[in-house]
């Protein structure tokens, strides 16, 4: 069996984070400038089931037998075996290379899962379809993050902008016009699981108020979908502002995120909002392509630890 590799991109949530956990729709897009690449090769002379995993970027080195039963990677291996109806994966060495920052809200855990599932199943000659890859990646995300909506693994599996409602097949969005975004990192954030748990606690305390905000976020998402599919992206900025304000109201923004959102608007971005779990982490700013570099630089001057540029392109068959 020759070595086989597979890659998966990062992701951003454009609209609807957190409310999506409560059944509202959300929109996410892949970020193709960053990626996880997984290479699988035979582990010669080792018995079946003997798997070595190496992820130099996060200094992780382990064998399958060393991992606790409930470790996300063990869940991934079990899920593949179950889906393919095989007793034991063959002996292999798995190397994970990544330019996708871990813990920065760009979907690194889902990207690792998707790339691993694809690389392993191709390696053994039994590749899975998108739906199966997504299903397994979702099980692994639950092991990583508690009660995720599944949006991260879905957008990363399909590698297209998606309109997503929990427990439903995603709708692939065919963009009418290209969209350029600056993603800026405001610094370390609590884990997504912690942020989601915090919202859950406050939702239990103030159910009516939170339900109302979630529904309002859902309406913003519906309006954004129309614009993305029909063009006229100039109408997106007010929706970004409204979504950011609603996220502030449910307590997931932070002074550093608010500062970067204001800075982005002041230096010429059309719209900006926090993206993902919040509490730190990333904002997205919608910009004119010619201004992307200068806005990214200004955001770094205003305290962003890192910036990325990404353009979402209309799909060819759209
Ligand atoms: C994380 O990318 C998005 C959240 O809505 C959590 C989730 O949907 O699982 C915050």
Confidence category of residue 316, pLDDT binned at 50, 70, 90: low
Shared domain for 108 and 190, answered yes or no, is no
Q: Supply the pLDDT for residue 104.
A: 77
Confidence category of residue 315, pLDDT binned at 50, 70, 90: confident
Shared domain for 71 and 96, answered yes or no, is yes
Q: What DSSP state is assigned to residue 47?
A: P
Q: How many domains does the chain have?
A: 2
DSSP 262-284: HHHHHTT-SEEEEETT-SSSEEE
Distance 6 CA to ligand 1 centre (A): 24
Shared domain for 241 and 225, answered yes or no, is yes
Is the CB of 141 inside a 6 Å radius of any atom of ligand 1?
no
- Residue 318 inside a domain? The answer is no
pLDDT above 90 for 36: yes
Q: What is the pLDDT of residues 151-165, one digit of tens each?
A: 999 999 999 999 999
Is the CB of 189 inside a 6 Å radius of any atom of ligand 1?
no
| CA 195 to ligand 1: nearest atom | 10
To 10 degrees, the CA torsion angle through 8, 313, 28, 78?
A: -20
Asked which of 12-26, 125-139, 179-193 is least confident by mean pLDDT, the reply is 179-193
- Residue 96 inside a domain? The answer is yes
Q: Supply the pLDDT for residue 233.
A: 85
Structural domain boundaries, residue 293: 174-312
**Can you say how many angstroms the Cα of residue 312 is from the centroid of all Cα atoms in its chain?**
15
Question: CA-to-CA distance for 6 and 8, rounded, in angstroms?
Answer: 7
Provide the β-strand partners of residue 8.
36
Confidence category of residue 243, pLDDT binned at 50, 70, 90: very high
Q: Supply the pLDDT for residue 244.
A: 98
For 219-243, what is the mean pLDDT?
A: 95
Phi-psi region of 311 (alpha: psi -120 to 50; beta: other; left: phi over 0): beta
Is the CB of 152 inside a 6 Å radius of any atom of ligand 1?
yes
Q: Which of 54, 59, 152, 258 is catalytic?
A: 152
Is the CB of 109 inside a 6 Å radius of any atom of ligand 1?
no
Burial annotation 127-159 (CB, 10 A radius, 16+ → b, else e):
bbeeebbbbbbbbbbebbbeebbbbbbbbbbbb
Active site residue 152: yes
pLDDT above 60 for 238: yes
Shared domain for 42 and 166, answered yes or no, is yes
| CA 166 to ligand 1: nearest atom | 8
Structure tokens at 216: 């309002």
Which of these, 191, 156, 139, lies nearest to 36 by C-alpha position? 156
Shared domain for 148 and 193, answered yes or no, is no
Q: Supply the pLDDT for residue 275.
A: 96
Q: Supply the pLDDT for residue 49.
A: 85
Shared domain for 12 and 73, answered yes or no, is yes
Boundary (domain end) residue, out of 151, 171, 191: 171
Confidence category of residue 262, pLDDT binned at 50, 70, 90: very high
- CATH number at 80 reads 3.30.230.10
To 10 degrees, the CA torsion angle through 124, 125, 126, 130?
A: 100
pLDDT above 70 for 311: yes
CA atoms within 13 A on the CB side of 218: 15
Question: CA-to-CA distance for 34 and 52, rounded, in angstroms?
Answer: 25
Which of these, 18, 62, 11, 61, lies nearest to 36 by C-alpha position? 11
- CATH number at 285 reads 3.30.70.890
Report the run of H or E that residue 238 belongs to, with start and end.
Answer: helix 236-249
Sign (positive/negative) of CA torsion 98, 103, 108, 112?
positive
Boundary (domain end) residue, out of 142, 171, 200: 171
Q: Residue 298 in contact with residue 199, Cβ under 8 Å?
A: no
Boundary (domain end) residue, out of 147, 171, 195: 171
Shared domain for 76 and 22, answered yes or no, is yes
| CA 21 to ligand 1: nearest atom | 8
Shared domain for 123 and 222, answered yes or no, is no
- Residue 222 inside a domain? The answer is yes
Distance 163 CA to ligand 1 centre (A): 14
Q: Supply the pLDDT for residue 102.
A: 79
Q: What DSSP state is assigned to residue 316?
A: T
- Strands 306-312, 92-98: pairing is unpaired
Q: What is the pLDDT of residues 39-78, one digit of tens each?
A: 999 998 888 889 999 999 889 999 999 999 999 999 999 9
**Mean pLDDT score of the chain, rounded to an integer?**
95
Question: CA-to-CA distance for 55 and 207, rounded, in angstroms?
Answer: 42
3-state helix/strand/coil string of 190-219: CCHHHHHHHHHHHHHHCHHHHHHHHHHHHH
Q: Residue 165 in contact with residue 154, Cβ under 8 Å?
A: no
Q: For ligand 1, pick from 18, 143, 279 the residue to mutate: most ligand atoms within 8 Å of CB.
A: 18
Shared domain for 141 and 23, answered yes or no, is yes
Question: CA-to-CA distance for 151 and 14, rounded, in angstroms?
Answer: 11
- Residue 317 inside a domain? The answer is no
Shared domain for 146 and 212, answered yes or no, is no
């Amino acid at each position: 069996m020759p070595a086989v590799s597979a890659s998966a991109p990062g992701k951003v949530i454009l609209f609807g984070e957190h409310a999506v956990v409560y059944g509202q729709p959300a929109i996410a897009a892949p970020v193709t400038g960053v990626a996880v690449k997984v290479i699988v090769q035979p582990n010669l002379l080792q018995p079946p089931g003997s798997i070595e995993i190496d992820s130099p970027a996060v200094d992780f080195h382990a064998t399958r037998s060393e991992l606790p039963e409930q470790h996300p990677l063990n869940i991934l291996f079990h899920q593949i075996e179950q889906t393919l109806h095989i007793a034991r994966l063959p002996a292999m060495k798995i190397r994970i290379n990544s330019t996708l920052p871990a813990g920065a809200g760009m979907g690194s855990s889902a990207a690792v899962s998707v790339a691993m599932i694809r690389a392993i199943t191709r390696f053994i000659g039994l590749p899975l379809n998108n739906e199966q890859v997504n299903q397994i990646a979702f099980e692994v995300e639950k092991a990583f993050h508690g009660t995720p909506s599944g949006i991260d693994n879905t957008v990363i599996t399909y590698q297209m902008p998606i309109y997503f409602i929990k427990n439903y097949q995603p709708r692939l969005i065919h963009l009418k016009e290209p969209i350029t975004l600056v993603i800026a990192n405001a610094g370390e954030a609590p884990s997504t699981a912690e942020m989601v748990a915090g919202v859950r606690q406050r939702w239990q305390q103030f159910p009516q108020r939170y339900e109302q905000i979630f529904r309002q976020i859902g309406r913003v998402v519906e309006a954004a979908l129309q614009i993305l599919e029909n063009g006229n992206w100039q109408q997106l900025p007010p929706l970004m502002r409204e979504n950011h304000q609603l996220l502030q109201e449910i307590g997931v923004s932070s002074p550093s995120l608010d500062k970067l959102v204001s800075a982005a608007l002041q230096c010429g971005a059309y719209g900006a909002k926090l993206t993902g779990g919040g509490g730190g982490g990333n904002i997205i700013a919608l910009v004119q392509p010619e201004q992307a570099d200068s806005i990214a630089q200004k955001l770094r001057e205003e305290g962003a630890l890192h910036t990325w540029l990404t353009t979402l392109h209309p799909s060819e068959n759209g």
